[in-house]
Amino acid sequence: MTTCLVYEKQIPISPPASSRQVYHRLVYLLYCSRQRIGYAHCERSARAAKAESNCMLVYEYKVDATRVQYARMEEAIRVGQFVRNKCLRLWMDGIGVSANDLQVYCSQLAKDFPFVACLNSQARQSAADRTWQAINRFYQNCREMKPGKKGYPRFRHHCRSVEYKQTGWKLEPDGRHLTFTDGCGIGRVRLRGTREVASFPTIQIKRVRLLRRADGYYVQFAVAVERRVAHVATGRVVGIDVGLMSFYTDSNGRSIANPRYLRNSERRLRVLSQRFSRKNTSSLGAKKPKVNHAARHRAKHNKYPPQQMSYAATAETTPASILFSPDTPPPGNGMKRRSHSAKWQRARIALARKHLKVQRQREDFARKQASALVSSHDLIALEDLQVRNLVKNRRLAKSISDVGWARFRHWVEYYGKLHGIPVIAVPSRYTSQYCSQCNRLVAKSLSMRTHVCPTCGLILDRDHNAARNILARASASHSASAQQLRTVGHTET
Ligand SMILES: [Zn+2]
């Protein structure tokens, strides 16, 4: 108990954490303090997962199938979700549940529920793996005392994908047809895409993921292959400063315009979401219920008898096939399950597709810019921005999310690794405030776009000045680390 108290003092408990979350944190820390093996296991599995993800190429195809096949894919995704939620429940209710326990529980679930047995056994294990990843991340955040919420794993209600490992599917030699061979009955589907995944030996295809997006179903093949690109040395180094006015400005003063995809699509998105909100949610022909602010406020003061078990509560424990078969009466308090109207569905899909398009545009732009930047330089310096904290600014959050700095940095680092060039992130403190020529602090607010140094008389664009500072900092740290390496090498010989 004393140990518990000691740990309780050390853990910064944020107010939104529920008692169950705090309980799990305490149990885990206590467990780790007694058995160091707990730490080692978690770290090893995280490292193994990272190493695995480093050398995987993902090939994506769109799926062409019949309406029945789509329904079966949906069923397979739902069974995966069921396994995940069950595993999570096992971990929540037990003490010291390990990753292996979840794997064992999968086969137990297959015995208990016939619809779970239909899904391929490795796909079930994969669902358990994903659950453990979520649990592990929660543990990791607790261990590192990450500020704010710790990411306590939650039940999923709208899973979008199911993952097969190396069995349960068969790729035809033409690379254009895939057959799912497990009990879910999806069968043979056609793949649409330009990549040649069939050129790899089947043994290298480690994962086959089936996923749903707003515009249809997709299949992803994760291939274990190391991608290599020979970098042509250019002798150029660059520092970049990302911003909202321009996408980025480099230390040579070149800037790339911010495409503002979300802002450009906002008008259309507004129309689509308005249409969506005006559609009737029910196909029973009833008038759309009024849910304005006043109605919600009135409803708060209404006195109803306590409700019986709701539909959502029973959904977790009832097998999916019973739950969704048309001839079983809906569970709960006899309330009829409302199906959404066709117009509602159409409006929902139109809105979702538009959002998907914006997301794809942004991703594509970030990727192309990163690729171009890396292939034309030998060293790239950028700011170590904490985007998570920056988006807390309510006035700028939408613009910051729209520009997509984190994705851009992700791709710069990815291509940097591919080309074997150093990508250095430097602390972002005061990069725009110091003068890049005489290193003197020249305070300026966000609205001042030009840097004017009173000491040395340097006049530069604000972002250009910041980019030069970033490059200077990175060069200093890079040459210091190179020096250190050289010294170590010297003493060894
Ligand atoms: Zn100066």
Written as one string, the DSSP assignment of 435-473 is -TTT--B----TT--EEE-TTT--EEEHHHHHHHHHHHH
Q: How do residues 138-153 score in pLDDT, each as one tens digit?
A: 999 999 988 888 899 9
Rounded to the nearest angstrom, the distance between the alpha carbon of 472 and the centre of ligand 1 is 14
Per-residue pLDDT for 44 more than 50? Answer: no
Strands, E assignment, 351-430: 379-384, 423-427
Per-residue pLDDT for 471 more than 50? Answer: yes
Rounded to the nearest angstrom, the distance between the alpha carbon of 342 and the centre of ligand 1 is 65
Rounded to the nearest angstrom, the distance between the alpha carbon of 444 and the centre of ligand 1 is 14
Task: Provide CATH code, domain 237-261+354-486.
Answer: 3.30.420
The total number of residues written for the chain in this structure = 493
Per-residue pLDDT for 193 more than 50? Answer: yes
Rounded to the nearest angstrom, the distance between the alpha carbon of 379 and the centre of ligand 1 is 25
Per-residue pLDDT for 167 more than 90? Answer: yes
Per-residue pLDDT for 352 more than 70? Answer: yes
How far is residue 109's CA from residue 15's CA, in Å, rounded to a whole number? 36
C-alpha separations of 445 from 27, 81, 180 in Å: 47, 49, 59
How high is the pLDDT of residue 306? 54
How high is the pLDDT of residue 283? 59
SS3 251: coil
**Domains of the chain: which residue ranges?**
5-226, 237-261+354-486, 280-340
Rounded to the nearest angstrom, the distance between the alpha carbon of 284 and the centre of ligand 1 is 72
C-alpha separations of 116 from 48, 182, 333 in Å: 28, 11, 27
Rounded to the nearest angstrom, the distance between the alpha carbon of 409 and the centre of ligand 1 is 29
Per-residue pLDDT for 134 more than 50? Answer: yes
Backbone angles phi, psi at 468, to 5 degrees: -65, -40
Rounded to the nearest angstrom, the distance between the alpha carbon of 110 and the centre of ligand 1 is 70
- At residue 278 the predicted structure's pLDDT band, cuts being 50, 70 and 90, is confident
Per-residue pLDDT for 401 more than 50? Answer: yes
Average pLDDT over residues 163-183: 93
How high is the pLDDT of residue 35? 45
Rounded to the nearest angstrom, the distance between the alpha carbon of 457 and the centre of ligand 1 is 6
Rounded to the nearest angstrom, the distance between the alpha carbon of 451 and the centre of ligand 1 is 9
Per-residue pLDDT for 117 more than 50? Answer: yes
**Amino acid occupying residue 67:** R
* Burial label, 411 (beta-carbon count in 10 A; 0-12, 13-18, 19+): buried
- For residues 233 and 478, the model is more confident at 233
Output the pTM of the full model.
0.75
How far is residue 210's CA from residue 220's CA, in Å, rounded to a whole number? 7
Alpha helices by DSSP H, listed for 57-150, are 67-93, 99-112, 114-118, 121-143
Rounded to the nearest angstrom, the distance between the alpha carbon of 241 and the centre of ligand 1 is 19
* Burial label, 81 (beta-carbon count in 10 A; 0-12, 13-18, 19+): buried
Rounded to the nearest angstrom, the distance between the alpha carbon of 461 and the centre of ligand 1 is 13
C-alpha separations of 34 from 3, 29, 44 in Å: 10, 9, 18
Q: How do residues 204-263 score in pLDDT, each as one tens digit?
A: 999 999 999 999 999 999 999 888 889 998 989 999 999 888 999 999 989 999 999 999
Rounded to the nearest angstrom, the distance between the alpha carbon of 452 and the centre of ligand 1 is 8
